[in-house]
Structures are given as C-alpha cells and as structure tokens.
Amino acid sequence: MRALGTAATGMLAQQLNVDVISNNIANMTTTGFKRQRAEFQDLLYQDLRRAGASSSDAGTIVPSGIQIGVGVKAASVYRITDQGGMESTGNTYDLAIQGDGFFRVLLPSGEEAYTRAGSFQISPTGEIVTQDGYSVLPSISVPQDALSVTVNSSGEVQVKIDGQVDLQTVGQLDLSIFFNEAGLQPLGENLYKESTASGAPSTGAPGSVGFGTIRQGYLESSNVNAVGEITALISAQRAYEMNSKVITTADEMMSVTNQLR
Amino acid sequence: MENAVYVGLSQQMALKRHLDIVANNLANMSTTSFKSVSPVFEEYLQKDQPNAKISFVQDYGVYHDQSEGRIYGTNRPLDFAIAGDGFFTVRTEEGIRYTRNGNFKLDPEGFLVTSNGDFVVDEGNDTIQVDLTNPDIEVAADGTINLGTEDVLKLELVTFDNNQLLTQVGNGYYDAGRENPFPAPNAKVLQGSLESSNVNPILEMTTMIEILRAYESAQKLLDAEHELQMKAVDTLPAMN
C-alpha cells in the first residue's frame, strides 16, 4: 500500500525536524551560534492517468489526470545567519561582529576556520587566541607591559603602554565574508570551514562595504528564539502523530481486506 | 451476479488511492508552499445490461487546492513568499519549471538558486548574480531586484490561464506542459517570508476516517455478496 510508505517518509521528515530543533535548543546559550531550519520538498509523483492524454477519438483531453505523490524528503538543513543579540560582558577580549563576516582562526592542522564567537583570550606569549587556544588571524600579539587593549570598530588593536602618551597600534583584525555563508561546513567548537557550497572567502577590514563592524566588550549570543523553537517542536510532534495515524488507517484497511472469506 | 463484487472493488480501489493522496498531503504538511491535492471521482456507468444500469466509481483526476498557505516571517533576506497568484521561474536541467517556494540561496559564484541548486531567472530568462560586497539583495513587491548597482533586474513572475493544468513534478516544482505562462499581475513578492503548505490537517484527518469507514462498508457489501453465493452453492443442488 502506497500510503504506508508515504506516511513513513512523513514521519522520518518530522523526526529530522525534531533533531534540528533540539540542536537549536541545546545551543540556545552558545556564543555566536546560528540556528538551523529543516526545509522539505515533495517527492516524485506517479502518473496514474496522464494529464493532457486524449480521452476519446474526438480528441477530448483529460484535464488534470491523477498524480499520486509518494511523500516528502528533506531538501536541506540550512543555517539562518541573522544577527544574534549583543550581550555586554565588559571583557577586553570579547569581540562581537555587528553585520556580516567571520573572524579567521588558524587550526592546529594549519587550515583556516571561521567563527563568529569572539570570546577570545590571551595566550602565554601574548597572542590573541580562541577559547581552544587557536590563533586568531592575522596573528596579533599584545605586549606584556600593555596597560589596556582597545579594539575599535574597524578592527584596529591598540594598546596603552605604561609611560607612553600615545596609543600604539599592534595589529589589525580582518573579517571574511562568503556568498553563501549558510553553506559553510560546521566543525563544532563554534568553528566553520570553507566548503564548495559556501564559495571562497573574501577578506577585508571591518567596517568597509559589505563587512560588519567590531564591538569590543560584547559577545554575540545565539540567534535561537526559544518561543519559536518550542512552537516548531509542538507542530513537528503533531505532524508526526498525524502521519502515524495514516499508518494505522492504512493498516486497518489492509486488515479489513484480510478478513475477506 | 458478481456485479456487486466488482462495484465494491471499484470503490475500494478508489478509496485506496484517496488514502494515498491524503497520506501525501499529511507527509507534506511542513513542506514550504506545498498545495494540497484531492481526488475527483466520477460515476462509470455500464449500460450493456438489458434492464439495469450498473454504476461503478472511477477516480478520473486530481484537484490542486491553489489557495494560499499561511505566510510567515523568517527574517532571512533570501526567503521570498508570493502573495496572490503567481510562480517563480526556475531553470533546471529538465527545462523551465515553476515554483512558489522562494527559499533561495546564493551558490558559490553568487547566483540566486533554489534549494536544489537550480537557477532562478529574471524577466529576460537570465540567471541572477549578486555582488559579494552586497550579498543582501533587496527585492521589491513587484519583483524588482536592487543589487546595489545600476542594473535593474526583475524576477520572472508568471501565472497561467488554468493553474490546474500544471503538473507537480516533486521538489516543489511544477511543469507547465503545453500551458503558456504570462506575467502575473497580482503577484506580490514578500521578502523575508515563506509560504507554508496549505494542508488543513483537520480536514485530512476527517477525510481519512471517512475513507476507512467507506472502505469497511464496501467490504461488508463484498461479504454479503459472498454469503449469498455460498448459500446459492449450498441450496441450489438440493432443489434438484
């Protein structure tokens, strides 16, 4: 019975939906996390009676035909990259990006990764690093005798050194943007890697056209909306139940047939 | 004498297909811009009997409910919903297809594509490419795209004399067949929104219950006919 298989695809789709939603909820407080959404598409159709076929010798034409769909499939699980809220922390090395762009991070493997979680720290050698100790690119070292560190909105890192009147510029952070940032490959640990879907990065100074600006002392919270996720969860659950009801009905119809003497 | 069996069978076949359609509607309850489908039944009259006409049932077509699904905001600049009658035009490997699912993306070269990677086209049937330094394009209600440059592009929004003649081909696409598209006068593009499916779950659930009960009563008919025949087999030889 076709309905059984069709309903099964519906249940699988809702299961995936719940998986995606639960990951969003689990990462509700993850810095820089971007929520994901599952997108579904209808599957192929079986033509039982083709529309446009002639229905008589006089050339009359079947107006609509019978097409029976065989269910649903997941088309993509894409990331929604809209801006998360700005959380004030007052921390020197907490940097949030307002607008488009990613910080560049050097992985231990030598590859480049990208992140929007700007909760950075200082390594024993004075370098600006991520929570996991990976260097932020371009590598910037803060002198040991620096009294304070300022990162301005265009990414310039300036330090105040004891005994000096002027601020000293020690480096310039840059940002990378992608055509399809939703196509970046997530690595976990708030990091993303370039993929064929994302396209090659284009790197520029914060604040220039197309690039976001940097806010020191802030972190970008996740863009997960708890209320939205819970309502999505409820409707996914109900849709799952309805599809399972189809299976029950199809099963009952088959059992009716089986009772035929 | 077996006519009752065949009439009952024709009903059961039609009901089974109806359940298949309901199952597909429910499976696609959360499919963006999916339109629910219902079968159309007709009487199939067999007139060759001398004094009785027997009517069978036949499903001769499907009807797409073209009413608009709920439009909800997504905040995503590349999500587009169409309010009113109209379709986006998409260039696929199989040819031109039409869709109301405006969940678009940018491919690595900056072309506007659907979730399947097929190109969305403008009025000149050209692909739409976006500049990386201004990837957040703005689309006006009439489909005009502001790319931040001097080029003026417009999404190809079309409609048909009879939308029922479009065939669903999966992936949210429609094949127009022999139908000719013409510009959609009433289509309004809403950026940052998507159209949900117009499946009415309550209606589908009650339809499903009706199908089950009708199927059971058709079965009763078959059973009764069967008993009648058994009785005939038992009693007729005794009358000899």
Interface check B17 vs A, CB under 8 A: yes
Q: What is the pLDDT of residues B191-232, one digit of tens each?
A: 999 999 999 999 999 999 999 999 999 999 888 888 888 888
Cβ–Cβ < 8 Å for B145, B139: yes
Closest alpha carbon within chain B to A10: B27
Q: Which one, of A207, A250, A260, A259, lies nearest residue B212 by Cα?
A: A250
Per-residue pLDDT at A51 exceeds 80: no
Q: What is the pLDDT of residues A102-145, one digit of tens each?
A: 999 999 999 999 999 989 999 999 899 999 989 998 888 888 88
Which positions 105-164 of B are in contact with A (Cβ < 8 Å)? 105-110, 115-116, 130, 132-136, 164
Q: What are phi and psi of A164, to 5 degrees?
A: -105, 145
Q: What are phi and psi of A150, to 5 degrees?
A: -125, 130
Q: Which one, of B28, B202, B21, B26, lies nearest residue A1 by Cα?
A: B21
Give this complex's ipTM. 0.79
pLDDT of residue B100: 93
pLDDT of residue A176: 92
> Among residues of chain A, what percentage have pLDDT more than 90?
47
How far from A253 is each of B15, B85, B205, B220, CA to CA, in Å? 10, 38, 15, 13
A99: left (phi over 0), alpha (psi -120 to 50) or beta: left
Q: Taking the alpha carbons of B10, B13, B18, B19 in that order, is the dihedral positive or negative?
A: positive
Where in B14-159 does DSSP place strands (E)? 37-46, 54-64, 71-73, 79-83, 87-92, 95-99, 102-103, 105-106, 112-113, 119-120, 138-139, 144-146, 152-154, 157-159
Closest alpha carbon within chain B to A238: B201
Reported as a pLDDT band with limits 50, 70 and 90, residue A217 is very high
Per-residue pLDDT at B1 exceeds 60: no
Contacts of A45 in chain B (CB under 8 A): 167-170
Reported as a pLDDT band with limits 50, 70 and 90, residue B109 is confident
Closest alpha carbon within chain A to B110: A179
pLDDT of residue A49: 67
pLDDT of residue A200: 87
Mean pLDDT of all residues in A245-255: 92
Reported as a pLDDT band with limits 50, 70 and 90, residue B43 is confident
Per-residue pLDDT at A41 exceeds 70: yes
- Give counts: helices (H), strands (E), chain B: 2, 19
Q: What is the pLDDT of residues B148-199, one digit of tens each?
A: 666 778 888 999 988 888 888 888 899 888 888 989 888 899 999 999 999 9
Distance CA B211, CA B193 (A): 36
Give Cβ neighbours of residue B5 (< 8 Å, ≥ 6 apart). B222, B225, B226
Mean pLDDT of all residues in A254-260: 82
- Pairing relation of β-strands B79-83 and B37-46? unpaired
DSSP B85: S
Amino acid letter for position A75:
A
Distance CA B127, CA B121 (A): 5
Q: What is the pLDDT of residues A177-203, one digit of tens each?
A: 988 888 889 898 889 999 888 888 889
